[in-house]
Amino acid sequence: MSITDYVIDILLILVIFRQVRPHELSPRAALLPLALLILAGIVYLRPFTLRGNDLILIVILAAAGIVLGALSGAADGIWRDDQRRLMFRAGAVSVITWIAGMGFRFGFAYYAYHGGGSSVASFSARHDITGASIWTTALVLMAFGQVLARLGVLQGRRIRAISQSAASRQGPANQPERDASRRPRL
């Protein structure tokens, strides 16, 4: 692992601790995590050819990242402050799920580069995974899934809170009447 590997991995782990303090939930809140993703993509993603069970590995790790990111984003507290700004804070569940995903990636990479390489190679051969570049891609896409799912959940919650706030200000007198004979679509 290079210094760049350590820096990117540690920053991706630490970004959640920045959000333990209350922050305004705005589109701007997504900038640092997205910048780190772009940097990781530039540094780690390279063209590759899928063979064997490479795609299965990529899908499993990306799906794990998406689940962990969605759980992390759903566990954050969201509220309005005294100035009516929408605020958010990462809670314990959010931090734990974030560290579980990002820490797994960092731990796996550290293990693979510091004595575990032959075990990873043996596992890869047994499961028809074609090499280190596939592991790198799968782990980076796991991080992408985790970051994008967390940001997507948070931004979705922001949009929903804004629309609910606008609807509550509008009041029931200004809302259109519903036809009671029509059934809602499922």
Q: Which of 39-43, 124-128, 146-150 is predicted least confidently?
A: 39-43
Residue 180 lies in a domain: no
Task: Give residue 147's Cα distance to chain centre.
Answer: 2
Which ranges of the chain does DSSP label H, i.e. alpha helix?
3-18, 31-44, 54-75, 92-113, 117-126, 132-170
- What pLDDT does 181 receive? 47
Predicted confidence at residue 30, as pLDDT, reads 85
The model's pLDDT over 22-79, given as tens digits with 9 standing for 90+, comes to 989 888 888 888 888 888 888 888 888 889 999 999 999 999 999 999 999 999 999 9
pLDDT averaged over every residue in the chain: 85
Looking at the structure of the chain, the number of domains it has is: 1
Residue 173 lies in a domain: no
Residues in the chain: 186
Question: What pLDDT, on a 0 to 100 scale, did the predictor assign at position 172?
Answer: 58
Contacts of 134 (CB under 8 A, 6+ apart): 48, 50, 54, 57, 58, 124
Domain extent at residue 68: 3-46+53-165
